[in-house]
């Protein structure tokens, strides 16, 4: 077995993993009941599915051609932006009250997204003057 044979098998495995996560994420988008639970499906596709497909592309490029760093940059961008965008979308859903209200916070604490600070209220009062 040569290195190209091993790389071909690795590429096939990475493609199957990426396709599996993409399929599961697509089914999750269709089957999950509300927007907060549906939000979980595309973030998994964005990280695991696309990450595995990019690993297949990197393996192919470095084995059969001249590799580049584009795939690593794309992967880094996806892994940084997917959780941040999911966090923002979930905060919007909570503030619009289009989902279930989160459970009570433990031991006299509050959830950070639902805290209304005194400074924010004071600034809003100053703007209305």
Domain-wise residue ranges, the chain: 3-102
pLDDT at 9: 95
- Tell the residue number behind the tokens 């993993």, with chain if given: 17
Q: Do 49 and 18 contact (CB within 8 A), yes or no?
A: yes
pLDDT at 117: 58
Reported in sequence order, the residue ranges of 29-93 that DSSP labels E, i.e. its strands, are none
d(CA 24, CA 104): 31
pLDDT at 18: 93
pLDDT band at 127 (very low <50, low <70, confident <90, very high): low
Q: What is the largest CA-CA distance in the chain?
A: 78
pTM: 0.68
């Amino acid at each position: 077995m040569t290195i190209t044979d091993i790389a071909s098998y690795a590429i096939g495995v990475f493609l199957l993993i990426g396709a599996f996560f993409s399929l599961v994420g697509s089914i999750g988008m269709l089957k999950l009941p509300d927007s907060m639970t549906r939000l979980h499906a595309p973030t998994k596709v964005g990280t695991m599915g696309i990450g595995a497909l990019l690993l297949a592309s990197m393996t192919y490029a470095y084995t059969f051609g001249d590799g580049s760093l584009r795939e690593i940059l794309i992967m880094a961008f996806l892994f940084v932006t997917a959780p941040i965008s999911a966090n923002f979308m979930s905060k919007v859903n909570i503030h619009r009250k289009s989902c279930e209200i989160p459970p009570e916070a433990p031991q006299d604490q509050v959830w950070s997204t639902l805290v209304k600070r005194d400074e924010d209220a004071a600034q809003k009062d100053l703007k209305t003057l």
